[in-house]
Amino acid sequence: MKMMTKLATIRLRLTLWYTFFLALTVLGFSFYLHFELQDSLSIQIDEGLQVAASHLLVDVNDTVNPPALHPMSDQAEDYLVQSSFALRLVEADGTVAADVGGFPSLAFSPPAAASFETVVINNIPWRIYTQQIETQTTRFDVWLQMGQSLNIVQDTQSNLLRLILFGLPVTLIIATLGGIFTANRALHPVDTITRTVQSINATDMSKRILYHGPNDELGRLTETLNSMLDRIQSAFDAERRFTADASHELRTPLTAIKGQVDVTLTRKRTPDEYEKAFHHIQRETDRLIRLANDLLFLARLDSTPQRWKAEQVNLSDLLEAVVEQVRVVAEDKSIHLTADIPPHVFVQGIADHLIRLFLNLMDNAVKFTPIGGNISITVNQLPTEVQVRVKDNGPGIAPEHVPHLFERFYRVENDRTYKGGGAGLGLAIADQIARGHEGAISVDSIPTKGTSFIVRLPLSLTPEK
């Protein structure tokens, strides 16, 4: 098991693969060198035999028949012997006319032309070159045979084989050590990354991976992991804030309800006092129900956006219906509500979600527009999208708060939402719905002048039949 664990490490696998391919390369090169050396030596021996035969033919006395060798000096004969050369003159019937250097005894059969052959005599391989003796006018039935022992070739090949057998293990050992060193150097940052990531937990996500190397694969991996950790930390922080804010928002109406019940039960009350207490409890209960519904709706949006079953929606009819619903509330505050909605504007989406989106925006506009103010709903159809602008002339929003408006439970002190008694989820729900429809919401607000919310949705050009 320990061995399998060790083999599971990348550095060991890299080293083993490196050593394996190096061994294959060295073995392949060694075989190539062996056969190439063998061919080269064979060619050199054949060429040497031919050259020696050419020189010796000059020393053949062809004035007699059969021809004979001129007397050879002791020095020349010693050179032939030391070079493992041997020669003889042999007649057609196999009679040896001359012999120098201890030519091996072997049967002779006259060849049709000059030729080479390899023979083994007394377990010693010989390379034999045979050439007929002739002059410009006469061809004799005598052949010159030059031979050379191939022991030198075998000795050279044996020496090469010993070098390979000794050098290959040494080379592989050095290569393995070098591979381990290189793998350790290359994968050392991975150990740092692993230790850093293992030390990160839900209670402390501030640590990041420190990498000072080049922008290679490990550099890009480190950058990606750090970016992922940033996103995870942001998600954890948002989740903590969401949990804390949700707990606070749930606790507030529950505390109010319990406090009202406790006060009411301290002594006997008149029917009017009981009725007043029940109305207060009812308001807080309604607020609690709205908050629970909003939280449940947000949870569904978060968990199943990919399973939305979009359909073609007539946005013009949908907005007209929402405007008429809001108009009743606006008239109670003497707010002038206008709508410029062209007919036959279609989008892909879920009608109930889109109703909630625009109802939230228009309801906010009514809440925070002063009595006698103005609200306008404008639809602008572009080639690829439709823009719906909800504009009011309320108190506006300070610039530093605009980037956070769509965060859950975000409320500015004394702001529009807080005065309306909401929990800070309406805009978050609207933004989530817009993004679920591949759209977006932007805000244009000037303090004391008013606010515009612009919803952008992809346009569907062809209504369903």
Q: Which parts of the chain have pLDDT scores under 70?
A: 1-8, 59-63, 69-81, 135-138, 238, 242, 244-246, 248-249, 252, 302-308, 412-423, 461-465
Residue 326: its pLDDT value, please? 92
Superfamily of domain 311-458: Histidine kinase-like ATPase, C-terminal domain (3.30.565.10)
- The CATH code belonging to domain 217-303 is 1.10.287.130
Residue 380: its pLDDT value, please? 94
Kindly report the average pLDDT of the chain as a whole number: 80
Residue 245: its pLDDT value, please? 64
Residue 217: its pLDDT value, please? 76
Q: Where are the domains of the chain?
A: 7-157, 217-303, 311-458
Residue 378: its pLDDT value, please? 95
Nearest to 433 by CA among 373, 360, 329, 341: 360
Residue 417: its pLDDT value, please? 40
Residue 158: its pLDDT value, please? 84
Residue 2: its pLDDT value, please? 45
Residue 462: its pLDDT value, please? 54
**What is the architecture of the domain spanning 7-157?**
2-Layer Sandwich (3.30)
